[in-house]
Structure 1
């Protein structure tokens, strides 16, 4: 899950009788609202960052004809000389149930000033095929999507499916619209599995939504088509087989931020 998906998201296979045989689909992902508390995990001396505080909310909902994501992040960075910078990042998307259509809207502010707005739609010609993006903001433009591109929810379902099959490396091209350098080649390294109810959940250990199989994963994001060996950024997380993410860590290069799951609730399914 990127600070955006969020947020949208990596998995691996549990052992023994906990293995689920059917192929994952977006329908297996549970509609939920999650709250995260953000803090500084580590910082290089030259980064100039000495503290991070913030909150992130992430809501994944069923809209009958698709899936919606609403992600809002408020983060304050404290610099070495004492100055504070507040950034607010909002990310709203809709993805069709067949994974072929996508809408997105992004807004980013720094100390109350809008620094970036991205908005548009995307469509794939079919499963495994390429497609197009129609940008409205920051300016009108048409972008091509390469064959095999996935949108975020479909990508999560694929990760779950491949993780259940025991794959340790899952590479896919993903378009989320969260930045102008998207799509990205996302290389996911699937780590050790946690059995349902295994420790590490703290106060949330008794929450029924988290009494599921889960996995550690690290995802590296590269610009699609680039030959760069160093990723644009990396994200590590523990993800449950219903799509809920815990303890998300994002490496920005000079410093890294941890978002710890603090609240989680199931969202009702709509009357379709």
Structure 2
């Protein structure tokens, strides 16, 4: 979202999909210039937010998932130096093969305001059993290349390709491209939810309009709005089948009120239930802004 949009979801490894970490975006007085050559130079305002979504099953591709409900809470706070993100995703499902399953995903990250440093921790559990914990830190150079150093599940260091974005920077890039009337954005993304480095992302941006919607939350009615669809791909695979996809109805400030989550064997819809925009911090110096050169 990613990622919403810089919004971000991330999957459970015990299944054929991951449960995604959703990097949402909201408006603030912090202006995030676009960090990639693939998108427009249109600046985007992101803001701190606390949101909660309800999730419901809408389709099971092969009938193996007979029921699924859930919720997601997402909190992102801007400090004077970083974006602090906490996401909790819970899905209760019933499958023909495994019966009832309670899937939990906890994601915590801190991304520097200049988009160059990320610390992260992700833990995934099914029926109380920890499937995997991923933690470490990553850093990027001005061209988006860099490295990630993992603490768990194994201590190792991997390279990140040029053009890589972290979640909040990716969020800003998606919204900026949409507002600038671009219809797609392609870039590597690293969020700290997988133990094997960056993944590729391809986003389509459609239907953006400045016409206010009377059904929108009061604080969002004057904002442009549109649809963003993001597909994520394993960089080690050569096929064109995404690992998972996310569809979002987003406002220009990054608030997302409707979600379409495709986990491969089943799809869920998400509806915004609560929205809080916390007061932004007062900093002694203006926050840093992202500034990268292209390769």
TM-score between the two structures when normalised by the length of structure 1: 0.87
User: Match for 2:71 among 40, 55, 80?
Assistant: 55
Rounded to whole Å, the distance in 2 between the matches of 1:222 and 1:267 is 34
Mapping for residues 52-91 of structure 1, pairs under 5 Å = 52-80=68-96, 83-91=99-107
Given the superposition, is the C-alpha separation of residues 42 and 29 from structure 1 closer, same or farther in structure 2, using an over 3 Å criterion? same
Is 1:146 the counterpart of 2:161 in the alignment? yes
Q: Is the partner of 1:45 in helix, strand or coil? A: coil
Rounded to whole Å, the distance in 2 between the matches of 1:162 and 1:260 is 24
75-84 or 163-172, larger mean C-alpha shift: 75-84
Rounded to whole Å, the distance in 2 between the matches of 1:210 and 1:137 is 43
Rounded to whole Å, the distance in 1 between the matches of 2:50 and 2:250 is 15
Higher helix share: 1
Rounded to whole Å, the distance in 2 between the matches of 1:206 and 1:58 is 18
Return 5+ residue gaps in structure 2 as ranges: 2-7, 11-19, 26-39, 284-295
Instruction: Note the C-alpha offset of 1:179.
Output: 1.7
Structure 2 partner of 1:217: 228
The two structures, once aligned, show a CA RMSD in angstroms of 2.1
Rounded to whole Å, the distance in 2 between the matches of 1:191 and 1:38 is 23
Instruction: Note the C-alpha offset of 1:225.
Output: 5.7
Given the superposition, is the C-alpha separation of residues 119 and 175 from structure 1 closer, same or farther in structure 2, using an over 3 Å criterion? same
Structure 1 partner of 2:150: 135
CA contact (8 A) 1:117 1:137 kept: yes
243-252 or 58-67, larger mean C-alpha shift: 243-252
Mapping for residues 195-214 of structure 1, pairs under 5 Å = 195=210, 197-198=212-213, 201=215, 205-209=216-220, 211-214=222-225
Rounded to whole Å, the distance in 1 between the matches of 2:221 and 2:193 is 27
Q: Is the partner of 1:198 in helix, strand or coil? A: coil
Q: Is the partner of 1:3 in helix, strand or coil? A: coil
Structure 2 partner of 1:40: 57
Rounded to whole Å, the distance in 2 between the matches of 1:182 and 1:241 is 30
CA contact (8 A) 2:160 2:197 kept: no
Instruction: Note the C-alpha offset of 1:188.
Output: 0.4
Mapping for residues 115-264 of structure 1, pairs under 5 Å = 115-126=131-142, 128-195=143-210, 197-198=212-213, 201=215, 205-209=216-220, 211-224=222-235, 226-264=237-275
CA contact (8 A) 2:134 2:153 kept: yes
User: Match for 1:29 among 21, 25, 46?
Assistant: 46
